[in-house]
Amino acid sequence: MTDATSDPDKIEAPTPDNALRAADAADGPMLAADGTPLKKSLNRALRAQKLRALLLIAPLLIFVLLTFIAPIVDMLFRSVENQIVSETLPRTTRALADFDAGTGEIPGEPVYEAAYYDIFLASERKEHTRLGSRLNYEQTGASSLFRRSGRGLDDIGEVYQDQFEDLDENWDEAEPWAEMMGSPEWLNAQRGWTEEDGAMPEFELREGVAEVLPKTAEFYEIFARFTQVEDEDSPLEEEPWSMVHTALYQDLAAGDVSGYDGPHAEMLQAADELVDSPDFETVSFTDGFEEVDEDWADPEIWNTIKMYAPPYTTGYFLNAVDMEKTVDGPQLRDEDERIYGLLFKRTMFMSMVITFSCIALGYPVAYLLSNLPARSANLLMILVLLPFWTSLLVRTSAWKVMLQQQGVINDVLVWLGLVADDSRLVMINNQFGTIVAMTHILLPFMILPMYSVMSTIPPSFVRAARSLGATNWTAFWRVYFPQSVPGIGAGSILVFILSIGYYITPEIVGGTTGTFISNRIAYHISSSLNWGLAAALGTILLVVVLVLYWAYDRIVGIDNVKLGG
């Protein structure tokens, strides 16, 4: 009897190994049933499978992107966004580029000139108040300064406007201006326009007028298009802003219009002679600003404008950590102005206290529920869930009634003789009131995860430990408690994250010493409208939470957190 060989090459019948060897030796790739290369067919099937899986989760993915990722990205952007200064004061920020803010002196006349045109235009567009509100976050009084300036800068232009009108009444009319500055094609189109035609023909400058009167042409064009688009009026019927007269004076004082032969050449040349005469009254932009408000003679406002001229800023984050931007770099604020560091510390401390309070009160309840018969446990679980059926505002207001000095708890203590009537406890509008109210509100969020874990612990483990001689305490501490730790971890994360972002309850019962950083964020969003600072505070709070989550994962391990099973 011969021995069976194990060499596949010596076996005459076909084997899998021989089939693979033959496939490898064959010319060309292995083919699928439809004749396409097997590798290509498998890749196509895999892509189709992944696409089907992506389509299944697409609604959830879109929902998460729109409701979670997008708001966070928007918050991060708002915390550094600062385009309002450079967009509203483009000429001023460019003129301030060479201004040395550390000299303690005011900038030169070119800066005031640029500011005049920028603020005048911003006032017409109703943007100067928004800019003032933005700068008011950094320098108190900036908001009222820009409001007054928006109304007062007309005085500078009226100095020139009145003199031109005294020379020739046509300077007070809209049509001569339009004929001098507008192209013939636009004039004909504008004169023939009616409301039935829809939008007005867009204003076009006359050829060559920008070389003769550069500033006047620039600002008249802005005026004309603003009048057409924003006011929906015709430049043929609206006389120019006083700012345009100021620009005309500057052009006539700096250039020569004797060679101009366009419309109203004689009127323009007469105005040129008037400007050159010694009797013509002028006012410098620096003096004009000081007449509007003496704060424009303070270097601090110009320092603030220059510091916040870049489109992105760290100012919001510096304010969020009790610092400020100065000409010498970031510096800590005065001690009596540092509030955010205190609020962050208070938020962390009180959130920890609330979490440990919920653990201390919730663990016995979860233990009882998990060891009772199902009928009794379900009945008691209704009592745990009962607070969810009541409005958060009602529950918080109830604690305000109970904790106040004339409230139920103080009345009971006085009735029992534990507290004198004239020495009632102060339990509201402080940290104690916030901790009590929030512990009550967040306690179910601690009980439910612990109960779900405890209900999966087999009772036989504790009985086995007792049968081996362990005391009740030893059996609980060495056998039962370690298995319940994942539930404590899940409940702690849930309660801590919820408490760190609460603001309704601290706002109602916290007073001045029991509020969280979230209350300040809500204030800046709804009251002060300083959304940049609110975004910076929210970003810092998010980073703190992520760091604590990372630390928890390193110390405890997020894999040990369970919600049952």
Give the residue from 311, 332, 366 where a domain finishes. 311
The amino acid at residue 545 is: V
Res. 21: pLDDT tops 60: no
Mean pLDDT of 317-340: 87
Share of the chain above pLDDT 90, in %: 48
Range of the domain at 158: 84-311
Cα separation, 68 vs 61, whole angstroms? 10
493 lies in some domain: yes
Supply the pLDDT for residue 536. 93
Q: Is residue 500 located within the same domain as residue 447?
A: yes
More confident residue, 411 or 30: 411
Supply the pLDDT for residue 2. 47
Cα separation, 224 vs 226, whole angstroms? 5
Helix or strand run (H / E) with residue 267 = helix 265-276
Mean pLDDT of 2-25: 51
32 lies in some domain: no
Supply the pLDDT for residue 24. 53
335 lies in some domain: no
* Phi, psi for 332 (deg, rounded to 5): -70, 145
pLDDT band per the 50, 70, 90 thresholds, residue 1: very low
Q: Is residue 180 located within the same domain as residue 255?
A: yes
List all residues 6 or more positions away from 373 whose beta carbon is below 8 Å from its beta carbon.
none
| SS3 of 490-502 | HHHHHHHHHHHCC
Res. 360: pLDDT tops 90: yes
328 lies in some domain: no
35 lies in some domain: no
Q: Is residue 357 located within the same domain as residue 217?
A: no
pLDDT digits (tens, 9 = 90+) for 86-113: 999 999 999 998 888 778 889 999 999 9
Supply the pLDDT for residue 20. 47
Q: Is residue 67 located within the same domain as residue 140?
A: no
Share of the chain above pLDDT 70, in %: 92
Mean pLDDT of 228-247: 92
Res. 362: pLDDT tops 90: yes
More confident residue, 121 or 13: 121
Q: Is residue 155 located within the same domain as residue 242?
A: yes
Helix or strand run (H / E) with residue 554 = helix 531-555
232 lies in some domain: yes
Give the DSSP letter string of 428-478.
Answer: SSSHHHHHHHHHHHHHHHHHHHHHHHHTTS-HHHHHHHHHTT--HHHHIII
- Report how far apart, in Å, the C-alpha atoms of 537 and of each of 70, 124, 133, 463 are: 18, 34, 19, 52
Give the residue from 270, 295, 311 where a domain finishes. 311
pLDDT digits (tens, 9 = 90+) for 247-260: 999 999 988 888 88
Res. 28: pLDDT tops 70: no
pLDDT band per the 50, 70, 90 thresholds, residue 29: low
Cα separation, 168 vs 265, whole angstroms? 13
Mean pLDDT of 401-417: 89
pTM as predicted? 0.78
Supply the pLDDT for residue 250. 94
Q: Is residue 145 located within the same domain as residue 182?
A: yes
Supply the pLDDT for residue 284. 92
Mean pLDDT of 424-436: 91
CA quadruple 393, 395, 398, 403: dihedral sign = negative
Supply the pLDDT for residue 76. 85
Poorest-pLDDT segment among 23-27, 169-173, 384-388: 23-27
Res. 22: pLDDT tops 90: no
Q: Is residue 458 located within the same domain as residue 480?
A: yes
The mean of the pLDDT values for the chain is 87
Q: Is residue 222 located within the same domain as residue 262?
A: yes
Let me know if 67 is exposed, middle or buried by CB neighbors in 10 A (0-12, 13-18, 19+). Answer: exposed
Q: Is residue 137 located within the same domain as residue 213?
A: yes
Q: Is residue 268 located within the same domain as residue 360?
A: no
pLDDT digits (tens, 9 = 90+) for 185-214: 999 999 998 888 888 899 999 998 999 999
Res. 450: pLDDT tops 60: yes
30 lies in some domain: no
List all residues 6 or more positions away from 408 whose beta carbon is below 8 Å from its beta carbon.
401, 402
Res. 347: pLDDT tops 50: yes
Supply the pLDDT for residue 19. 47
pLDDT digits (tens, 9 = 90+) for 262-292: 889 999 999 999 999 988 999 999 999 999 9
121 lies in some domain: yes
Domain of residue 554, CATH code: 1.10.3720.10
Q: Is residue 144 located within the same domain as residue 270?
A: yes
Q: Is residue 99 located within the same domain as residue 193?
A: yes
Task: Provide the number of structural domains found in the chain.
Answer: 3
